[in-house]
Structure 1
Amino acid sequence: MAKWLFLCIAFFCWSLYTAKPDTCLQNVTDRLALLAFKQAIHRDSFQVLSSWNDSVYFCNWHGVSCSRRHPDRVISLILNSQGLAGSLSPHIGNFSFLRVINFEKNSFNGEMPQQIGRLRRLRSLTLANNSFTGNIPANLSRCSNLVYLDLINNKLVENIPAELGSLAKLGALGLARNNLAGSIPSSTGNLSSLYRIDLRTNGLQGQIPKELSRLQKLEYLLFAENNLVGEIPHGLFNISSVIAFNVNFNQLHGTIPFDIGLTLTNLSSLGLSFNKFTGSIPVSLSNASALYQISFSGNNFTDDLSFIDPLTNCSKLQQIYVTKNFLNGSIPKSIANLSKDMWILGLSENQLQNSIPLGLENLVNLRILQLGWNFLSGPILIDFGKFQRLQYVTLSSNNFSGTIPSSLGNLTFLSGLYMSLNKLQGNIPPSLGSCPNLIELDLSHNSLSGSIPPQVIGLSSLSVGLYLSNNELSGPIPSEVGSLQNLLLLDLSNNRLSETIPSSIGNSLQGLRKLDISRNNFSGKIPVSLAALDGLNLLNLSFNRLEGEVPKHGIFLNSSAVSLLGNNQLCGGITELKLPPCQSSKNKLSFMLKVTISVVGATLCLLLLVGSLIFWHRKRMPRIIGISMPSFKHQLLRISYAELFKATDGFSAFNITGTGSYSSIYKGILGQAGIEIAVKVFNLQRGGASHSFMSECKALRTIRHRNLVKLLSACSSIDFEGNDFKALVYEFMPNGSLEKWLHPENAGEDGQQTVTGNLKLIQRLNIAIDIACAIECLHNGCPSTIIHGDLKPSNVLLDDEMTAHVGDFGLAKIVSAISDGAEQYQSGSLAIRGSIGYVAPEYGMGDLASVEGDIYSYGILLLEMFTRKKPTDSSFKNGLNLHIFVEKSFTYKVMEIIDPCILSEVGRESLINCLVSAMRIGVACFTELPTERMTMVDVIRELQRIKGIFQSGQERSNARDEGPSTSHMQ
């Protein structure tokens, strides 16, 4: 009877199947699971699930494959790159025959369902490039047949489950670019079939488990960009199958085994960058016949480049990348014998010396040549014509001399050429105009002379930047400049260029963002066409011989974006530019008549005023108070002692915002208009206070700059008790001093209130640039050089937009040039009494105040901003100081010395290069020898470059967070 019942049921199912195949009981489970999967999808960009309906047999639905042996059971779901968004339905666990899942490059979110652990037949699980959150399900270990697991580029958190170590068949494990923490499970060493493990760009900590040495089939070990510590287990270097070994950007230490090249015979790529490795580079690498890439950048190697010699035996070597180390000595001649397949030679940012060896041209397939930021010297004797594939050449910041090789013009693939900060002479080769793919050219800070070749400045491919500043170029700007229609940055400053500014710059260079032609000999009027450049955000025309009316539209409406200093014949423009009004020819005669009448009237009034003042003073005071006040170029407010007394509530202690050696600073509200002011009242009972008052007056009488405190008034009078009274009135800075932001725990000591927020990295970069611009203005932007003499965080004030303003010129010195080219101090005292820790060492030996002294102080201030350590920090003992503290930390330990608030802001990947570069500037500013310190012009330029790199990195990071990436286990 049972037999007949079973046959009936089977016949009934067969009948239903032939009538409508998706109704048989055998396949209902998979069909319902598919519909549940579809229901959890809330966006189907390409309508790929539109075929998932009853009119089509479900095994024929898009992305669904069924078994041949079991026709109604789903064995694979492949829906990669289909624009799907939503969660992954828990019903995924009902596909008991499923072998392959590939949902990568979609927008799945939410947690991975635990039900995946039911899929005992699953062999490949690919969920890369989505937005899955939460933990990695530990019960994935139940998928005992799993061979391929790719969860790269999601938002997974917490630890890597130790249970994954039971997946005996697992060959590839990809967990990179997540937010995983904790340590690498030692159970990973049980994955005997593993040939690839990718854990890059997470927050993994602890040591690399020695158990991984058991993975004798391992080919790719990729652990870069984590926080791993300790030594690399020696056994990992004995796995002969390893092809790629990458642990860049960790905190690993120890030495590299001397026999690494003998054991890793299949090695193609070795990356140990940005760690703490010591010792020499093993010569045994010459036995790694398959090696094509070696990266030791950013470590602490101190040996020379002798490791190059054995590498000549590596017939497949393609990349040498050893930047950002402390390698010294000469580049060995054997470099000419390296593999002809070499395409990257990266030796930048070391301490290499002497000349480039002959024979480098043998590397005919070289595409990237990086020798910048070393101490290389001599002429550049390379025949670049032999490098037919060369794309980037970096020779900047060395001591190269001689001329620029004209053979560079033969490089048809050249995209970037960087030769700044050398001692190159002669003309710019016109042949550079024959490089059709050149997008950026930097020849700044050399001694190049002659005119700018029309072929070069007319190279239409230039789109990123053309930098020819700080040379000795002469003549006009060729009219061919109009061909640079896509150029972003043009810097021709600090040369001897002359004649008029071509109007074609404004008419044609519509992509221009920055134009700097300051400190030349340009004459004539400002082309009105410059105002039509909508994207222009910085225009520097200062220190030329321009004349006439300044336009009143476009960028000329933004006084902070335009610099016109040193052009005494300019007039008009917006009020903020503070230029004299222009006089029309019709009104000249009337104007002269008015001037004559005014002069005569003013003279009579002056005589009457003087007589009245003498009479009043004799009647008012028994003695004559001698006051020698400097004349101010800019008109100041007239504010009396009585007004200041009222504004500060009788100089109430509650209104004190800060105190100094000679003064106290009060916050005040001036008049009915309610203007907030800062009143600096000098304590004339202290010796030197009067001198400090006069020094500050003299320093500020002729200058105005957006990054200098704005002086509103100077009051030299008597108080209500007949005592002398001297005060300076400034714009009030609502965000206080930089000191209180860096060291809020000490802010109350000088009357300042503490802050609750922290400075972000971009704010610190902006403040650093603001301060540098202010110091550069004092040194080079005024009729006389002004030396601040007391640069420190408490003398940097922040307005409501966190723009920095340098103040406190009580120790400022004014220097003017005299006929014999020497310098003469106009200050009455040559003694410098700056603040301990910020004063240049040469001042202690009796040297006169100098611009290099300010640069020294700036360097200390810059490092203090990023490390949040004062130069007088109590931890600096036994000869240790801020300079040594930072310099010893380059670059392997830089993340340990910076302000933790920066680390908590964003990921370390986007920070480390910017931080290292910024802090190198600080170290270069306060070297012991004044002649070796950076100039403020170079400081500003480098900081702006670092800021641009950081912002670009943040934009890329944001874009990556907003959408899935296309790269995974590669």
Structure 2
Amino acid sequence: MNLLFLQLIILQALELVLGNRSTDATTLLRLKTSLEDPSAALNSWSSKTTSVLCQWNGVTCSPDGLVIRLDLRFKSLSGAIPFDVIGDLSHLQGLFLSGNNLTISPISSSNSSSECSLEYLDISNNRITSSDSVSILDACTRLKLLNLSHNLMYGSLSVSSLTSCKSLEALDISHNLLSGDVEQVINLCARNLKTLNASHNSFTGDLPASLPSKLRILNLSSNRFTNGDVMRDICSSTGSELEELIISNNRLTGPFLHTILLCRKLKVLDLSFNTISGEIPTDLCEKTSKLEHFAVWSNELHGPVPTTISKCSSLVTLILSFNNLQGPIPPEVSKLHSLEWLILSSNNLSGTIPSSLGQLKRLTVLAVSNNSLEGELPGELSGCEKLAWLDLNNNRLTGEIPPRIGRSKPAPLVDNTTREFRLVFDNNEAYKCPGNRGINSIFPLLGISIQEFQTKAPMVCNKRLYIYQDKLFPEIDSLVLVDLSGNLFTGAIPVEFGDMQSLYQISLARNRMSGRIPSSLGFLKRLSTVDLSSNLFTGVIPVSFSRLPLMDFNVSFNNLSGGIPQKGQLTTFPLSSFQGNSGLCGSPISQCQEPDHEGSTPEKEVGNDDHDEVLAGMVTGAACFLLWSFCILFWESLGSLLTRK
């Protein structure tokens, strides 16, 4: 009897599973007919192949053969997402439709014949317009992740729908046109919410007075938030788990940094592009010692860089540029052994560059341009084995440039160099811009778009933007950029610079450097920007430079002579790239004279190193000829003497 009962149970279970599988196939075919599929991504979905349902494109099944996941990202699908149909997939846990051309049909929990089981829903990067789309929360109360980012949603979010977000752990509504007060989202979803990204919208009002204790990541960048008249600690709730706080490009004012001192677990803090004032709290790194990324550039901070910054021992990124910071670069920075980015450009810093920075073995970017730094460039920087970007332009640095800066042998860079930053390099002759403090630098953008950056940054006379969205530096052999322009350096260009096989840009303009231009620079295959203008260089332009893939080239206002090589990219640059050198000839200046000219014709011109090699070869050849002649005469004389005997 018991055996029979067990068999009946097994048969009923099989019927249920097979019935659900058949229902899933029917539901998916209904879904297919409701969408337009110009790329034939759903061709495998056929009534003739329902037996292999789990092999259909984008379908994932449970061990029982029930559909639990649909992944149809970037399939060029269009039409309205039929949630009433999708709701009939009673075991579906994950639905991923991002990167299509989909809209959304009215959602109602009563439209479906079964309860929505969805836990993960990603419909980002589509054409969804209505802010009522969050009403999906009413129908799918089990949702843990909802991604509506990069759509066209406008207006205020539906408060009534948000009352059903009790299970929600991650909500991404970034890159839309939403407005209103975001604090209600935080309050209504406070029970389990761990991640909220509401960046790139039009939200207004004061920042939340406090945050839910479970919230770990909060991104409110590129909105219109203010910090109100009364500034409270946003981590005032007991046991705050907040790890990332990104509020860049808003309307924050005053000494805002003091409001985050209770965020004990904070790892990422980005408050860039606001009007925050005051000093950096001396106890910042005592209270938030876990900080890894600290960016407050383009604000109104003043005072010194606190020596206590060394207590942020895990710091990877320190970006304080475009403020009014004064005083020296504290040598204590060299205690930050995980530091990869040190950007202090466009402040009022003074003193010398600490030689102890050479102890930062992981340092990849060192940018301290547009300050009032003095003294010599420390030779100890050769200890920065991973240095790729060196920008010291527009200071008062003196002395000769050390022969070795950064790495001297190939080594892969650290994996976390750029984190998730979008990077912009503006190759800008900023010293020519009235009222500009110089912006020939690197700009890490997190929470601000390229378009917003261009409207906010002082781009009065920009020339070119280089945009990096993945890793900025691949595995390289040497420095990528060296900008030492606008200083008081003397001496010659170190010949060792010719070993920098990864060098992309070199700018030594507006110094007091002299000597010849090493022809070895012309053999650097990646070198595309060379600016040696306004110095005291002599000799010729090396013919090896005609091999370079040059995009920018300027040797104006030196004491160069001889012919301009008439090959390669050099012939494409205007007169302004060569003017101010009375001894230069050749296009685009003037036609060179015959070979008896003190210089040489463009066709026969050689660089200084080439000239020395040729001269050495001639001397060696002459010596060999004389020795050979002497040997011949000696043997002839000896032969004559022996014949007589």
Regarding TM over 0.5, the answer is yes
| Secondary structure of 2:285 counterpart | helix
Paired with 1:334 and 1:12, the residues of 2 have a C-alpha distance of: 73
Q: Is the 8 A contact 1:37 1:91 kept in 2?
A: no
Distance 1:524 1:511, change over 3 A: closer
| Secondary structure of 2:283 counterpart | helix
Deviation per CA, 1:416-453, whole angstroms, max 9, x where unpaired? 11111112121111111111111111111212211111
Distance 1:113 1:37, change over 3 A: farther
* Map of 2:244 onto structure 1: 244
Paired with 1:387 and 1:435, the residues of 2 have a C-alpha distance of: 15
Distance 1:511 1:380, change over 3 A: same
Paired with 1:169 and 1:514, the residues of 2 have a C-alpha distance of: 67
| Secondary structure of 1:42 counterpart | coil
Offset of 1:113 from its aligned partner?
A: 4.7
Q: Which amino acid aligns with 2:395?
A: N
* Map of 1:290 onto structure 2: 290
Residue 141 (structure 1) aligned to one of 134, 137, 141: 137
* Map of 1:253 onto structure 2: 253
Q: Which amino acid aligns with 1:35?
A: L
Structure 1 residues 536-555: aligned runs within 5 Å: 541=588, 544-546=589-591
Paired with 2:82 and 2:479, the residues of 1 have a C-alpha distance of: 52
Q: Which amino acid aligns with 1:64?
A: V
* Map of 1:432 onto structure 2: 497
Offset of 1:136 from its aligned partner?
A: 4.1
Deviation per CA, 1:182-221, whole angstroms, max 9, x where unpaired? 22142421321111111122222222233xx251111111
Distance 1:511 1:65, change over 3 A: farther
Paired with 2:135 and 2:387, the residues of 1 have a C-alpha distance of: 52
Deviation per CA, 1:474-509, whole angstroms, max 9, x where unpaired? 21111111220x221111222221111112335xx6
Q: Which amino acid aligns with 1:399?
A: R
Deviation per CA, 1:749-803, whole angstroms, max 9, x where unpaired? xxxxxxxxxxxxxxxxxxxxxxxxxxxxxxxxxxxxxxxxxxxxxxxxxxxxxxx
Paired with 1:242 and 1:196, the residues of 2 have a C-alpha distance of: 9
Paired with 1:65 and 1:461, the residues of 2 have a C-alpha distance of: 46
Residue 516 (structure 1) aligned to one of 574, 577, 580: 577
Deviation per CA, 1:660-713, whole angstroms, max 9, x where unpaired? xxxxxxxxxxxxxxxxxxxxxxxxxxxxxxxxxxxxxxxxxxxxxxxxxxxxxx
Deviation per CA, 1:98-154, whole angstroms, max 9, x where unpaired? 543332443233346525896632211112233433334242231211111112222
Q: Is the 8 A contact 2:122 2:148 kept in 1?
A: yes
Distance 1:113 1:494, change over 3 A: farther
Paired with 2:574 and 2:40, the residues of 1 have a C-alpha distance of: 39
* Map of 1:56 onto structure 2: 50
Q: Is the 8 A contact 1:260 1:284 kept in 2?
A: no
Q: Is the 8 A contact 1:258 1:284 kept in 2?
A: no
* Map of 2:126 onto structure 1: 130
Name structure 2 gaps, 5 residues minimum. Answer: 1-10, 409-476, 594-645
Offset of 1:350 from its aligned partner?
A: 0.8
Name structure 1 gaps, 5 residues minimum. Answer: 1-10, 527-540, 549-970
Structure 1 residues 766-845: aligned runs within 5 Å: none
Q: Is the 8 A contact 2:406 2:478 kept in 1?
A: no
* Map of 1:188 onto structure 2: 186
| Secondary structure of 2:312 counterpart | coil
Structure 1 residues 483-494: aligned runs within 5 Å: 483-484=547-548, 486-494=549-557
Q: Is the 8 A contact 1:329 1:353 kept in 2?
A: yes
Paired with 1:14 and 1:335, the residues of 2 have a C-alpha distance of: 67
Paired with 1:102 and 1:275, the residues of 2 have a C-alpha distance of: 38
| Secondary structure of 1:310 counterpart | helix
Residue 33 (structure 1) aligned to one of 2, 11, 27: 27
Offset of 1:277 from its aligned partner?
A: 1.8
Offset of 1:83 from its aligned partner?
A: 5.0
Paired with 1:510 and 1:127, the residues of 2 have a C-alpha distance of: 52
Paired with 1:137 and 1:513, the residues of 2 have a C-alpha distance of: 56
Paired with 1:316 and 1:276, the residues of 2 have a C-alpha distance of: 27
Offset of 1:516 from its aligned partner?
A: 2.1
Structure 1 residues 346-495: aligned runs within 5 Å: 346-408=343-405, 410-411=407-408, 412-463=477-528, 465-484=529-548, 486-495=549-558
TM-score by length of 2: 0.71
Question: How many residues get paired?
Answer: 504
Paired with 2:500 and 2:105, the residues of 1 have a C-alpha distance of: 52
Paired with 1:131 and 1:381, the residues of 2 have a C-alpha distance of: 55
| Secondary structure of 2:253 counterpart | strand
Offset of 1:90 from its aligned partner?
A: 4.7
Offset of 1:257 from its aligned partner?
A: 5.6
Distance 1:522 1:164, change over 3 A: farther
Paired with 1:94 and 1:240, the residues of 2 have a C-alpha distance of: 37
* Map of 1:203 onto structure 2: 202
Distance 1:121 1:51, change over 3 A: closer
Q: Which amino acid aligns with 2:520?
A: Q
Paired with 1:150 and 1:157, the residues of 2 have a C-alpha distance of: 15
Distance 1:418 1:514, change over 3 A: farther
Distance 1:271 1:186, change over 3 A: same
Distance 1:13 1:228, change over 3 A: closer
Offset of 1:468 from its aligned partner?
A: 1.1
Distance 1:12 1:174, change over 3 A: closer
Paired with 1:313 and 1:525, the residues of 2 have a C-alpha distance of: 59
Q: Which amino acid aligns with 2:283?
A: S
Offset of 1:252 from its aligned partner?
A: 1.4
Structure 1 residues 600-679: aligned runs within 5 Å: none
Q: Which amino acid aligns with 2:582?
A: N
Offset of 1:379 from its aligned partner?
A: 1.5
% identical equivalent positions: 25
Offset of 1:274 from its aligned partner?
A: 1.3
Paired with 1:154 and 1:250, the residues of 2 have a C-alpha distance of: 21
Offset of 1:270 from its aligned partner?
A: 0.9
Offset of 1:233 from its aligned partner?
A: 4.6
* Map of 1:965 onto structure 2: none
* Map of 2:172 onto structure 1: 174
Distance 1:53 1:195, change over 3 A: same
Deviation per CA, 1:567-623, whole angstroms, max 9, x where unpaired? xxxxxxxxxxxxxxxxxxxxxxxxxxxxxxxxxxxxxxxxxxxxxxxxxxxxxxxxx
Paired with 1:237 and 1:449, the residues of 2 have a C-alpha distance of: 60
Offset of 1:341 from its aligned partner?
A: 0.8
Q: Which piece of structure 1 moves more, 173-182 or 446-455?
A: 173-182
> Which structure dedicates a bigger proportion of its chain to helix?
1
* Map of 2:420 onto structure 1: none
Q: Is the 8 A contact 2:315 2:338 kept in 1?
A: yes
Offset of 1:346 from its aligned partner?
A: 1.0
Paired with 2:265 and 2:12, the residues of 1 have a C-alpha distance of: 62
Structure 1 or 2, whichever has the larger Rg, is 1
Paired with 1:214 and 1:488, the residues of 2 have a C-alpha distance of: 50
Q: Is the 8 A contact 1:409 1:431 kept in 2?
A: no
| Secondary structure of 1:197 counterpart | strand
Residue 160 (structure 1) aligned to one of 157, 161, 181: 157
Paired with 1:295 and 1:505, the residues of 2 have a C-alpha distance of: 42
Q: Is the 8 A contact 2:25 2:50 kept in 1?
A: no
Distance 1:451 1:113, change over 3 A: farther
| Secondary structure of 1:133 counterpart | coil
Q: Say what the alpha-carbon RMSD is for the aligned residues.
A: 3.1
Offset of 1:95 from its aligned partner?
A: 2.2
Offset of 1:513 from its aligned partner?
A: 10
* Map of 1:217 onto structure 2: 214
Paired with 1:423 and 1:136, the residues of 2 have a C-alpha distance of: 62
Q: Which amino acid aligns with 2:212?
A: L
Q: Is the 8 A contact 1:364 1:388 kept in 2?
A: yes
TM-score by length of 1: 0.48
- The answer to whether the aligner puts 1:265 opposite 2:245 as a matched pair is no
